[in-house]
């Protein structure tokens, strides 16, 4: 999955409109206009629009903005940027969505069950750990796809 796919799928799962998406980007300190957003949210095989990939930094700014949008500004807290390599994008994506939606590990377990994806609480704990901690596990694209699928089932019904 590329960064645009994360955004497109999360937008659908949480039923966010374009205006809300722009607001979330602004909360994350990323200035986009409606045209740029439309290009980012369009699947490239469906159109002849120019390819405008979403950078990892922009994705993380969106996720930080989503946390602020859903939970409010935490006094004295600064946005964190913890995606330092391509391997941890899935882990950070799941962690930041978990924070934004105020999910517990049990909620995440239930979301995976909705997607009919078998995962244990120990595996969930391992993907939510910091890089370098004992028992840390890199979450593959399959984890993220099924997490978003479960979110879609939970929030769009």
The Cα–Cα gap between 21 and 64 comes to 12
> Which of these, 32, 33, 78, 99, lies nearest to 59 by C-alpha position?
32
The packing angle between helices 89-100 and 141-155, to 10°, is: 20
The Cα–Cα gap between 153 and 141 comes to 18
For residue 78, the model assigns a pLDDT of: 73
User: What pTM value is reported for the model?
Assistant: 0.89
For residue 123, the model assigns a pLDDT of: 94
Q: Specify the DSSP class assigned to residue 54.
A: P
Contact 34, 18 (CB under 8 A): yes
State pLDDT tens for residues 50-60: 566 888 899 99
The Cα–Cα gap between 122 and 47 comes to 42
- Considering only the C-alpha atoms of the chain, give the largest distance between any 2 of them, rounded to a whole number of Å: 46
State pLDDT tens for residues 39-51: 888 876 655 555 6
Domain boundaries, the chain: 3-155
For residue 80, the model assigns a pLDDT of: 75
The segments of the chain whose pLDDT lies below 70 read 44-52
For residue 50, the model assigns a pLDDT of: 54
């Amino acid at each position: 999955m590329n960064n645009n796919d994360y955004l497109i799928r999360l937008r659908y799962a949480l039923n966010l409109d374009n205006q809300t998406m722009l607001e979330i980007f602004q909360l994350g300190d990323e200035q986009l206009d409606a045209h740029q957003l439309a290009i980012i949210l369009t699947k490239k095989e469906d159109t002849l629009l120019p390819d405008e990939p979403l950078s990892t930094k922009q994705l993380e700014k969106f996720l930080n903005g989503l946390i602020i949008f859903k939970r409010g500004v935490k006094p004295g807290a600064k946005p964190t940027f913890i995606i330092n390599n391509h391997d941890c994008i899935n882990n950070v994506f799941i962690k930041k969505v978990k924070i934004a939606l105020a999910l517990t590990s049990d909620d995440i377990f239930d979301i995976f069950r909705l997607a009919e994806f078998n995962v244990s609480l120990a595996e969930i704990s391992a993907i939510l750990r910091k890089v370098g901690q004992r028992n840390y596990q890199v979450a593959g694209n399959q984890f993220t796809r099924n997490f978003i699928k479960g979110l879609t089932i939970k929030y769009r019904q």
